[in-house]
Chain A
Amino acid sequence: MKIIVCIKQVPDAKDVRLDPVTNTMAREGVQSIMNPYDQHAVEEAVRLKEQLGGEVTVLSMGPPQAEEVLREAISCGADHGVLVSDRAFAGADTWATSYTLAKAVKKIGDFDLILCGKQAIDGDTAQVGPGLAIQLGIPFVTCIQKVREASAKELVMERMMDDGYDVLAVEYPALITVVKDLNEPRVPSLKGKMKAKKAEIQVFSAEGVGADPAKIGLAGSPTQVVDVFPPPPRGERAILTGSIDEQIEQLVVKLAVYL
C-alpha cells in the first residue's frame, strides 16, 4: 500500500483571538501545531500500513517551518516527509492549494490512497481534500468516522452524515477525509522521535513540482479576501444575581421569547 497523507501546520486556536479592548489580534506566543484532524489522518494511514504493509508519505505545503509537522508525523509512524515550499505559493486559496498538492502528489508518484483531515482549523473550509481528488481525477469520500474493513483492494467505511452515517465501499486509488472519531492518535515513541530527528525531508519548489506559475499563490486563486474585521460585539452580558431561585426566575423571564 502506498499512502499519502496531506497535513497542514496551523496556528493553535487558543492563541488567536481579538483583543476585546483594542480590537487587534492577540498573537503573543502563537504556537504552531499539526492540524488536529490531520493527526487522525496520519494515525489511520499508519494503522493501514501496519495491517497491509507499504509506506506512508506525509505531504505539506507551507513555509519552511512546516517541516516540524512532517517530523511529528514521522515520529508517529510515517516513513517519508515531503514539503512543498515556495514564496510563490503565498496567498493560495483552496483551489490553488489543491492544484499545488496535486502537482506534488504526481511528483511523488504512485499511490493507492490519499488521506486528508476533514478541514484545517485555521480556515475551516474542508475544500482542499475534495479539490485535490478532482485535480487527480480520483473518487473521494469525506468525513470518514470509521474504517470497517481494509484490504489491498478497497476500503469499507462509515461516513458521517448530518442525520446518521452511510456505509460505503471504494476501490483504490481514492482520497478520503477524516473526522476525529476515527481513531485515537498515538503518542510518538522514543524510537519514533529519534527517527524523525534524522529523517530527510524532501523539499520541492514551485518549479520542482512543475506548477504553472499562473495557477499558484494569489494569482492562481479565484477567491480574494477584501476585508477582515472583528465580529459584531455580543449584546449586553449579565451574571444574574440574587438567590438561585431568584436568578432562575429572572432567566425564565429573559428567555420568554424562546419558550
Chain B
Amino acid sequence: MLIVDKELCIGCGICEDNCAFGAIDVVDGCAVVGDTCTLCGACVDSCEVDALKIEGGEKSVQVDLAAWSGVWVYCEFRGGVLAPVSLELLGVGRKLADARGVKLSAVLIGADTGATAEKLIAYGADIVYRADDQAFTYFTDETYGAVLTDLISQHKPEVVLAGATAIGRSFIPGVANALGAGLTADCTQLDIREEDGALLQTRPAFGGNIMATIVCPSSRPQMSTVRPKVMKELEEDTSRSGAIVEVNLEPAMLESKVRVLESVISEHDDVNIQESDILVGGGRGLDSEKGFELIRELAMHLNGAVSASRAVVDSGWIGYPHQVGQTGKTVAPKLYIACGISGAIQHVAGMQSSETIVAINRDENAPIFDVADFGIVGDLFEILPKLISKIEGHRKS
C-alpha cells in the first residue's frame, strides 16, 4: 500500500506530476491515492517532505541467499552461429563475477556447437555448461527451458543473464517463472550494490521516458535479459583456461509439444536490425516503396541495416521485422539516420537510446528534431544522393 502521511503532506502536487499512472490527486491540500497505483515508488522518491511511503511489501518468498553463488550467462547459438550479444554478456558478466568474487559460467545449448565453448572461455567464462544435441537444431521454449531450468536448480547461481533477443525474451520468462525467480526485461545497465551484493538492474520503461532500477531482494537467482549492443565484450584471450562440462540430458528434456516444421531465414541479411551498429530508417516521407532504394543505398555505404516507421510497414513498403518503435523493435545503434520520419512518440520510443541520431526531414517542426543530435531540414530526395556521394568521397580520401 502507498501510505500518505496526512500530517506531513503539504499538498504541493509534485507526486501527482511524477505519477505515470495518473494515480495521485491532490484533494483538499493532501495527496490521495487512486486505484491505478502500481506501487512503482516514483512519487516516494519525488516527495520533498517524506510524506509518502510504501508498506506491506515484505516479500513472502524467502530463499537462503547464501546458498546461491556465481554469475551465469546464457549464450545463444542458432543455425551454427553464436549470437553476438552472448559475448557482450560475458563481458559484463565477468565484471559482476569479479565484483562478487565468484566464477563466471556460460550455458551453451545447440546442435553442432564445434569450438564455441572454447571461444566462450576466451571471452571470459570460467566454466561452460554445454548441451550439444541434434534435438537443439531448432529452438523450442520447452527443450531449451527444461535444460536451463534444470541446470539452475542444480547449481544455484545468484545471477543469470541472457540476451533480450527473440529467443531470450521468449524462453527466459518461462524459466524464471518456473523457478519463482525475479526477471527484469531488457536491461541497459547492471551493477552490484555495495552494501549487500544485490544485482541492480536498470531498464528503460515507458518507451525510454523513464528509467527504473530493479532488485530481487529475497529471491534467487536474480535474472535479467539485456539489450544487445549496450554491454562491451572483452578482448579475446585464447590463453585463458576454463572447464567445459557436458550437460547430462534426460530424454524428457528433449521433448516438446511444439513441433518446428521449418525454420526460414530471411533472404535479406539486413533484417536483424537490433544487432546493427548503424541503422538508416525510412518513413512516409519516402513517398513510395521505391524510396527505400535510396535508404538501402545509404545503408550499404555505411555498412548498416535498414529500419522503418510503422506507417511504411503498414503500407507494405517493407516488412514488419524492420519496424522500430513501441509496436516494433527497440534499437540502440551507434548511429540512427531517420529519413522522412516525423518522430511520433511511438517511433522515438524504439530508437531514442541510439548513440547519435541524425534526422532529415523537410518539416522543421517535425518532432524527430527534438531527439536528433544533428538535423537537416530539407528534401531527402535532394539530400540523400548528395550525402551518399560525400560519404563515398570521404571514404576514398
Chain A positions near chain B (C-beta within 8 angstroms): 11, 13-14, 16-19, 22, 24-27, 30, 36-37, 63-65, 87, 90-91, 93-95, 98, 121-131, 133-135, 139-143, 145, 156, 160-171, 174, 179-181, 214-215, 218-231, 234-240, 244-245, 247-252, 254-256, 258-259
Closest CB in chain B relative to A47 CB, distance in Å: 19
Which residues of B sit under 8 angstroms from A125, Cβ to Cβ? 173, 185-186
Most chain A CB atoms below 10 A, which of B60, B182, B262, B266: B60
Contact B167 A30, beta carbon cutoff 8 Å: no
A252 in contact with B373 given A127-B173, A222-B181 (CB within 8 Å): no
Contact A167 B213, beta carbon cutoff 8 Å: no
Contact A248 B387, beta carbon cutoff 8 Å: yes
Contact A160 B302, beta carbon cutoff 8 Å: no
Contact A166 B263, beta carbon cutoff 8 Å: yes
Contact A214 B60, beta carbon cutoff 8 Å: yes
Partner of B345, one of A14, A235, A250: A14
Q: Residues 208-237 of chain B: 1 if any A CB is under 8 Å from the residue's CB, otherwise 0?
A: 111111111111000000000000000000
B42 within 8 A of A: yes
Partner of A90, one of B37, B142, B218: B37
Contact A95 B180, beta carbon cutoff 8 Å: yes
Within the assembled complex, what's the spacing in Å between the Cα atoms of A26 and B272? 34
B285 within 8 A of A: no
A259 in contact with B213 given A91-B38, A163-B79, A244-B386 (CB within 8 Å): no
Contact B271 A139, beta carbon cutoff 8 Å: no
Which residues of A sit under 8 angstroms from B38, Cβ to Cβ? 90-91
Can you name 14 extra interface pairs (CB under 8 A) apart from A90-B37, A127-B173, A170-B257? A11-B20, A14-B346, A19-B17, A27-B16, A139-B141, A162-B275, A167-B260, A168-B261, A219-B59, A219-B60, A222-B61, A223-B182, A226-B214, A228-B45
Within the assembled complex, what's the spacing in Å between the Cα atoms of A218 and B182? 12
Which residues of B sit under 8 angstroms from A256, Cβ to Cβ? 394
Closest CB in chain B relative to A93 CB, distance in Å: 7
Within the assembled complex, what's the spacing in Å between the Cα atoms of A94 and B266? 32
Partner of A258, one of B302, B382, B383: B302
Closest to A165 in B: B264
Which residues of B sit under 8 angstroms from A142, Cβ to Cβ? 141, 166, 169-170
Which residues of A sit under 8 angstroms from B139, Cβ to Cβ? 161, 166
Closest CB in chain A relative to B55 CB, distance in Å: 9
Within the assembled complex, what's the spacing in Å between the Cα atoms of A64 and B36? 9
Closest CB in chain A relative to B68 CB, distance in Å: 13
Which 4 pairs show the lowest CB-CB distances between chains A and B? A222-B182, A91-B39, A63-B35, A214-B60
B259 within 8 A of A: yes
Which residues of B sit under 8 angstroms from A166, Cβ to Cβ? 138-139, 260, 262-264
Contact B177 A131, beta carbon cutoff 8 Å: yes
A226 in contact with B41 given A98-B177, A220-B61, A239-B364 (CB within 8 Å): yes
Contact A130 B174, beta carbon cutoff 8 Å: yes
A223 in contact with B215 given A24-B17, A93-B182, A163-B79 (CB within 8 Å): yes
A251 in contact with B374 given A24-B14, A226-B214, A239-B364 (CB within 8 Å): yes
Partner of B174, one of A140, A167, A220, A239: A140
Closest to A222 in B: B182
Contact A248 B260, beta carbon cutoff 8 Å: no
Contact A248 B142, beta carbon cutoff 8 Å: no
B265 within 8 A of A: yes
Partner of A228, one of B41, B184, B353: B41
Contact B260 A227, beta carbon cutoff 8 Å: no
Q: Residues 173-199 of chain B: 1 if any A CB is under 8 Å from the residue's CB, otherwise 0?
A: 110111011111110000000000000
Which residues of A sit under 8 angstroms from B177, Cβ to Cβ? 95, 98, 127, 130-131, 134-135
Contact B212 A227, beta carbon cutoff 8 Å: yes
Partner of B180, one of A222, A236, A258: A222
B312-328 contacts to A, CB under 8 A, are 320-321, 326-327
B256 within 8 A of A: yes
B28 within 8 A of A: no
Which residues of B sit under 8 angstroms from A220, Cβ to Cβ? 60-61
Which residues of A sit under 8 angstroms from B374, Cβ to Cβ? 237-240, 250-251, 254-255
Contact A223 B206, beta carbon cutoff 8 Å: no
Contact A25 B35, beta carbon cutoff 8 Å: no
Which residues of B sit under 8 angstroms from A231, Cβ to Cβ? 204, 208-211, 352-353
Within the assembled complex, what's the spacing in Å between the Cα atoms of A12 and B205? 13
Within the assembled complex, what's the spacing in Å between the Cα atoms of A205 and B371? 44
Closest to B261 in A: A167
Contact B211 A230, beta carbon cutoff 8 Å: yes
Which residues of B sit under 8 angstroms from A141, Cβ to Cβ? 141, 258
B334 within 8 A of A: yes
Q: List 11 A-B contacts (CB under 8 A).
A: A91-B39, A124-B185, A130-B173, A131-B174, A134-B177, A218-B56, A219-B58, A220-B60, A222-B183, A227-B213, A238-B375
